[in-house]
Amino acid sequence: MADIANLRTSAETGLSALFESARKGFASEDKISREEAFRFFEAVGLPSRRVEAFKYTDLRAAMQEASAPAEAPSLEAARAAVAGATGFAGLDAVRLTFVNGHLVRELSDLDRVPAGVTVTPLNDALSAGHALLADLAPVVQARDNPIYQLNTAFLADGAVIAVEAGAKVGQPLHLRFVGTQGEAFSTATRVLVSLADEAELTLFESHEGPDGIAYQPNDAVDVTVGARAALRHTRLNEEGDKAIALSTISVRLADAAHLETVNLVTGAVLSRHQIYLHFAGEAVTVVVNGAAMLGDGMLADSTLLADHAAVGGVSREMFKTVIDGEATGVFQGKIIVRQAAQKTDGKMKSDCLLLSDAGQMMNKPELEIFADDVACGHGATCGAPDDDLLFYLMARGLPRPVAESLLVQAFVGEAVEAVTHEGARDALIGAIEGWLAARG
């Protein structure tokens, strides 16, 4: 064990060098504890399969080299990248555009933010000492996570979105992340979303980038939801086919707050989406769904931690994974119910549809329950499309690929149906149909 320092991988050494050079550019007085975060990361290194939380997603093996943090792109390059972006395109929304992890103000709707909402670019918020920065890292467990710490250490850009008390914002906000062609790069963005009491917001988040480049986005969204406030969040990962895409959403919920978050993965050779929830207030309701459509060589990891710390929380988690070719799906879900969190009602489910013999699905559900009056459960299933259902559809004239696609859509559709915003739901269904069409 004493020799751990000698076993640093090329990527880890690279990250240290990159941090040394990046730190010179960071303002020393801002509220981000980059140094502390990087030292934390350096001490644990890139997590390998020996680390329980990364048992099925060996980042140490997958990330062979560390890519340098992306410079802010030229406006011309940013425009070119955004021109081809399709995620939630066509939906009426106020857009914040990030290209290679940098907020491009010229391509964002900062001047037409809806009433009741203020959007401050993260770097402005840092230099001004924005009061809401106190809400960064709202869930304590995320602070022990190397991906999140790496995001903190290299944090380059982002935004602070504040919704004032009682504001029911009708127009969605869209965080649009796009990558450019060319050299591989890494990003570290943080968007802080703060909903005051009784506020409501619909948030879209799309991630796209070029194929053929091993770029490494690391995006984090920190959220606080006030009493009786509601956030509806729909996320679409359509990253390029060589990307290693790491992401974290951390949400702290006050009394009777509501969260709906649905993530669809069709992109990235390796993705890990981490969801940290802290049920701080009573009678919080949460819907967390995920769907992943995986082709040959892909790995998609959804890792969830739901910490019920107060009475009467209700959580519903449904994850659907479709695996084609030699791909791997990972679901890790942990529900903690603290002693104070009586009457908690938590249900977690992970289902996998295997379209090939070579695919594999790893499920790790965990329940840690310290209260005695709770209803918590989890379940996992894995199987091929049902032959009898296929025959029924084919006997009505549907060719096998069409029948199979219909069953796949029905399977993942259950997770996507939870999206309240009709346009966002249709966008996810469109992405699923696109995946099926490309599969042929």
Partner 1 sequence: MLEIKNLVVRIEDKQILNGLNLTVNDGEVAAIMGPNGSGKSTLSYVIAGKEDYEVLDGEILLDGQNILEMGADERAAAGVFLAFQYPLEIPGVGTMTFLKACLNAQRRARGESELSTPDFIRKVNGAADTLEINKEMLKRALNVGFSGGEKKRMEILQMALLEPKFCVLDETDSGLDIDALRIVSEGVNALRAQGRSFLVITHYQRLLNYIVPDVVHVMSQGRIVKSGGKELALELEASGYAEYRANEAA
Q: Of the candidates 303, 297, 289, 264, which has an alpha carbon nearest to the alpha carbon of residue 54?
A: 303
SS3 of residue 371 by DSSP: coil
Q: Which stretch binds partner 1 (CB under 8 A): 86-94, 148-156, 158-166, 389-397?
A: 389-397
Residue of 409, 425, 430, 434 interacting with partner 1 (CB under 8 A): 409
Rounded Cα distance, 358 and 177, in Å: 32
| Binding residue for partner 1, selected from 25, 383, 397, 440, defined by CB under 8 A | 397
Cβ 243 vs Cβ 251: under 8 Å: no
Phi, psi at residue 334, to the nearest 5°?
A: -125, 125
Question: 264: closest CA among 405, 380, 420, 428?
Answer: 428
Can you give the C-alpha Rg of the chain in angstroms?
21
Question: What is the closest distance, in whole angstroms, from the C-beta atom of residue 391 to partner 1 in the complex?
Answer: 5
Min dist. Cβ of residue 323 to partner 1 (A): 18
- Residue 62 interacting with partner 1 (CB under 8 A): no
Work out which of 27, 375, 402, 438 binds partner 1, going by CB under 8 A: 402
Candidate segments 128-136, 163-171, 175-183, 411-419, binder of partner 1 by CB under 8 A:
411-419
CB of 357 to partner 1, least distance (A): 18
Q: Contact, 279 vs 252, CB < 8 A?
A: no
- Residue 407 burial by Cβ neighbours in a 10 Å radius (0-12, 13-18, 19+): middle
Are 268 and 246 within 8 A, CB to CB? no
CB nearer to partner 1: pick between 367 and 398: 398
Q: Is 72 in the site for partner 1 (CB under 8 A)?
A: no
Is 382 or 398 the residue whose CB approaches partner 1 more closely?
398
Return the residues of window 142-171 that contact partner 1 according to CB under 8 A: none
Stretch binding partner 1 (CB under 8 A), from 82-90, 143-151, 212-220, 382-390: 382-390
Residue 406 sits in the site that holds partner 1 (CB under 8 A): yes
Binding residue for partner 1, selected from 71, 399, 433, 438, defined by CB under 8 A: 399
Which helix (H) or strand (E) segment holds residue 363: the answer is: strand 360-369
Residues near 182 by beta carbon (within 8 Å), at least 6 away in sequence: 210, 213
- Residue among 389, 418, 425, 426 that touches partner 1 (CB under 8 A): 389
Q: Is 342 in the site for partner 1 (CB under 8 A)?
A: no
Stretch that binds partner 1, among 129-137, 144-152, 238-246, 398-406 (CB under 8 A): 398-406
Torsion sign over Cα 113, 118, 124, 126: negative
154: left (phi over 0), alpha (psi -120 to 50) or beta: alpha
* 392 touches partner 1 (CB under 8 A): yes
> For binding to partner 1 (CB under 8 A), which residues are involved?
387-389, 391-400, 402-403, 406-407, 409-411, 413-414
